Amino acid sequence: MKLKLLKLFILIFYSNILFSQNFHEKQLPTPDNLSSLFIGPLIHSTIHYGAVPNNFNGKVILFNHGYIDLNQLFFTNNTFYQEAYNAGYQVVFVATTRGEGMWKNGQLLAESIDIICNKYNVNNLNIVAHSNGGKASEVAMYAYNKSNKVNKVFALGTPYWGTYLADLSQQWWFNWIWRHTGLNEGSATSTTYYCRNIVRPYFDNHPNNEPDKFYIIGGSGFASGHTILAPLMFTSGAILYTREGTNDGVASYNSTLRPNGNFLFNKNELRLDHIDVALGQYVWNYIEPILSGNSPRNAINRKGNSHKESEISSDYQIVHSENSYDQLTLDIDNSKARLVVFHPSKKSSFKLKSNNSSLSENKFICSKKSNDINNHVSSYNLLSENNKIDISSNSKYVAYLHQPNGVKMIYNHDHSSNLIRVNFVNTKNPIHATNISAVISKTADLAGNKITGNTFIKTLDYNENSESFVLDTSVFDNGSYSVYISANHEDFKRNIISGFTVGKLDISSFANKTTIQSTNKLTLQLQNTLVEHYLKFNLTGFENYNTATNYRINVFNLNGQKVIERTEEIRSKNFEVNVEELHSGLYIVQVDLNGKLKSFKIVKQ
C-alpha cells in the first residue's frame, strides 16, 4: 500500500512540475481555483499550462510578461485567464526572466514556442505580450526563426522605440527613478537610442519581417491608472511627458507603434496606464474579436508607421540635490520659470534660500490619486529677481528648471556619420563661446549586456559652417553609451540626458560570448566611493614594477568642469589623494596610469 502511494505521489509531482532545457513546467488549475499564492514569485523561467477548456476551440494563446513579472501581472486581479478560458482558448503563461533584456528573453520565448506547439500538436499559436515581451516576440520570430509558428502578436504597451525612462536609468545618479517604478534591470536594450539605432533597423529590414502580424495596443493614460501602482506610473509618466509627450507611464504612445503594424487605438483614445493595458478586464474585448475573425475592419485596418527622430530639445536645466556646486540659473532678463521636482521620499519639502524669490506649488488635478502622486512629483512656479537661486530640501531630488520661452538646446546623434551635433535657437547673443561638455559612459555592449566601463569627459567643438557644436563618436569602441550634455553660457544653462551607439549588431555574437582578460600588470582600485577628505587607491602588481610610476588625476563635476588636476609619483601600492577642497556632490575621477585610463564615480560628502 505504501509503495502504491509513493508511486502515485511521484506521478502527481512530475505531472505538475516538468523540466525542459531552460524551463520549469507547471500545470495550472482552472481559473476559478487559481490564486496568486499558487504561482509564487518568479524565480525560474517557467511555462504555466492553463487547464484545457471544455469548449476548446483548437487555438492556443501564449501570454508573456515584460519587466513586471508574471505573478504580479497575469495572476493578480487580472481576468485574462478566465476570459480566454471561457472563450475556449488553451492558455499558456510563459515566464522568461525579469531583467536579462530582450535578446535573452526572446531566445527563451523561441524555445517555449516549440515546446507549446509540440505539446498541443498545433502548427502555430497567438502571443499576447506586455511591454518588453513584445520586443522579445520579435526576437523569437526573426532572430530565432519562429515566425512560421506565430499567427498574431498582440503587443500591450510595448516600447518598440524605447523609453526615455531607460535613458535615465543609464545615468548612475538618476537610476533610482527606474527602480522606483517597479521595473527591473535589463534597461539597456530599452533606451531610445539603442532601439532607434540597433533594434528597429534589424527587425524592420529583416527579410522575413511581417508587420501585419502585429496588433498594437498603446495606452495614453499615465495619470488614469486603476491599480495600486497608479501613483508610480504617474511619477514616471510625468518625467516621460517632458520628453516624449502622451504616454502610459513607461512607454510613450508613439514608441508603441511598430512600423506598419495594426494599431487599435489613436493617441489619447485609450486612457489606460502601463499596468492597466495588461489587464484582461480592460483590453480582452478588443483582442478576442480579432482572434476569432469577427472584428470590424475599420477597427484594425489602421497602420502605425512611427519614425523616432534622434533629435532632442531642451528648455531646462537639471539640478541634483547632492551637488552643492549647482544652482538654479534663470536665463538673462528672465524672472519666471517652472520647476518640476522628482523625489523618492514621500514627505519632501522645498525652499528657496535666495532673497526676492518665491515658489508657488501647482497641484496635480488630472488624477483621482493626486494625493499619492504629489508624494513623488512636485511642480512649482518660480519667480525671482535673482539670476542664481539656491534650493534646499529635506529629501534627495532631481529638479528640472523649465524656461519654455527661453533658449532651446537641440541635440542630435547621427548614427551613420557617428557625429553628435548640438545647436541652439532663441538665443539673444552669439553662442560660439558656449562651453559644452559631454559626460559619456559605456553602459552595455551591442547585445545589451551590462558593462561597467570608463567614463569620459569630452568637450564639443564649435563648427562655424554649421553653427553647431560637434563631437566625433567614431573614436569609441562598439557599444552603447549614455551621455549627459551640459551647456554653460553667460546667458543660460541647459542639460540633456541621452545616449548613442557605435557599431552594428552581430546576432551571431550572442552565442559566442567571450571574456577579454586584462593584460595590464598594474590594476588600480578605489577603496572608497563615499569620500570625506581623501581618495584611497590600491595598486596591485606594484611590487613587481621596477620603473618609476607616475599618475595624472583629473576630477570633474557632473557638468563636465575640471575641478582638480594633479600629477604625482606613486611610491607605494596604497596611496591617497586629498580632495578636501571639493564641495559636496557627485564627481567623476579619472586616473591616467602610464597611459592607461581608469575612471571612478564618487560622492564627496
- What is the rounded CA–CA span in Å between residue 272 and residue 157? 10
Taking CA atoms, 500 is separated from 201, 311, 487, 497, 506, in Å, by 15, 12, 18, 11, 17
260 and 355 together in one domain: no
Residues 493 and 363 placed together within one structural domain of the fold: yes
Whole-angstrom Cα distance, residue 206 to residue 247?
Answer: 28
Are residues 495 and 564 located together in one domain of the fold? no
Examine residue 236 and state whether it is found in any structural domain, yes or no.
Answer: no
In a domain, 509, yes or no: no
Chain segment 38-47, per-residue pLDDT in tens: 655 556 888 9
| Residues 128, 61 contacting (CB under 8 angstroms) | yes
d(CA 295, CA 152): 14
Q: What's the distance, CA 31 to chain centroid? A: 33
Q: Is residue 244 part of a domain?
A: no
- The reply to whether 8 falls in a domain is no
Asked if residue 278 and residue 381 are part of one domain, the reply reads: no
Domain with residue 277: its CATH number is 3.40.50.1820
pLDDT band at 243 (very low <50, low <70, confident <90, very high): confident
Residue that finishes a domain, picked among 304, 333, 363:
304
Q: Are residues 319 and 438 in the same domain?
A: yes
- Name the grid cell of 569: 609619483
**What average pLDDT does the segment 425-444 reach?**
94
Residue 596, domain member (yes or no): yes
Contacts 24+ apart (CB under 8 A), 95-98: 95/42, 95/44, 95/45, 95/46, 95/47, 95/48, 95/65, 95/69, 95/70, 96/45, 96/64, 96/65, 96/133, 96/136, 97/45, 97/186, 98/42, 98/67, 98/69, 98/184, 98/185, 98/186
Mean predicted lDDT score pLDDT of the chain: 85
* CB-based contact 144:108 (threshold 8 Å): no
SS3 label, residue 271: coil
Question: Cell 562651453 sits at which residue?
Answer: 435
Percent of the chain with pLDDT over 70: 84
Q: What confidence score (pLDDT) does residue 539 get?
A: 83
Read off the pLDDT of residues 253-285 as tens digits, 9 standing for 90 and up.
Answer: 999 999 999 999 999 999 999 999 999 999 999
Report the candidate in 537, 531, 532, 571 with the shortest Cα–Cα distance to residue 553: 537
- The reported pLDDT for the residue numbered 180 is 64
Distance (Å, whole) CA 442 – CA 278: 33
Q: What is the DSSP letter of 112?
A: H
- Judge if 326 and 474 occupy the same domain: yes
Task: Indicate if 289 and 374 belong to the same structural domain.
Answer: no
Asked if the structure places residue 402 within a domain, the reply is yes
d(CA 57, CA 120): 12
pLDDT for the residue 307:
56
Task: Classify residue 225 by its DSSP letter.
Answer: -
Which of 285, 304, 323 finishes a domain?
304
Q: Which domain range does residue 527 map to? A: 523-604
Determine the average pLDDT of the residues in 17-34. Answer: 78
Number of domains in the chain: 3
Q: Do 142 and 24 belong to one domain?
A: yes
CA-to-CA dists, residue 187 to 67, 76, 94, 119, 331, angstroms = 9, 24, 20, 33, 35
Q: Are residues 326 and 454 in the same domain?
A: yes
In this structure, the answer to whether residues 406 and 478 fall within a common structural domain is yes
597 Cβ neighbours under 8 A, 6+ residues apart: 454, 590, 591
Per-residue pLDDT band at 121 (split at 50, 70, 90): very high
Closest Cα partner for 129 from 68, 64, 60?
Answer: 64
pLDDT at residue 41 in the model: 52
Q: Say whether both 328 and 363 belong to one domain.
A: yes
Side chain identity, residue 411? Y
Parallel/antiparallel/unpaired status of strands 479-489 and 492-502: antiparallel
Same domain flag for 292 and 359: no
Of 471, 502, 533, the last residue of a domain is 502
Does residue 178 fall inside a structural domain?
no
Residue 479 lies in a domain: yes
Read off the CATH number of the domain in which 552 is found.
Answer: 2.60.40.1930
